[in-house]
Structure formats: C-alpha cells, structure tokens
Amino acid sequence: MIVVNLDVMMAKRKMTLSQLSEKVDITLANLSILKNNKAKAVRFSTLEAICAALDCQPGDILEYVPDTEVLS
C-alpha cells in the first residue's frame, strides 16, 4: 500500500491545506482526499506541483508500506 505523508511535509513547511491548495491550484476537496489517503491515483503533474510548492521530493510525500505492516 502507498501511504501519503502530505500532512507531515505540510507541517514541516508550516503550510495549511488552504495555502497549499492555492499554490498548487487544486481544490481543497481533492487535496484533502489525497492528504487523507483516500485517493486511488495521483497525476505526475499534481505530484510535481505539490513537490514544487513544498520544496520536497516525491519520496518525502509517498511511502510504500507492505500490507503485512498495515495489518499489524
């Protein structure tokens, strides 16, 4: 499973969801879905915009967690 750690990176950058939404030009609703690990997919252009706004790498936001760890 892929876990989205967007909230962690936003906290490190002291940025709110509203601020990130404005910078990336994504609706609050869609950004919230991504932040809460409810998204089924993410476009590379969206990921690129988020990384640019947060000055980070995709690996800072996305993390692979084997299913066995999720169930523990």
Half-sphere exposure of 8 (CA within 13 A, CB side): 11
pLDDT surpassing 70 at residue 71: no
Angle at 72 between CA 56 and CA 31, to 5 degrees: 35
pLDDT surpassing 90 at residue 72: no
pLDDT of residue 68: 73
Per-residue confidence at 14, pLDDT binned at 50, 70, 90? very high
Q: What are phi and psi of 2, to 5 degrees?
A: -100, 125
Cβ count within 10 A of residue 58: 12
pLDDT tens, 16-70?
999 999 999 999 999 999 999 999 999 999 999 999 999 999 999 999 998 876 5
50 is written with which tokens? 């988020």
Element (H, E) at 9: helix 6-12
pLDDT of residue 69: 61
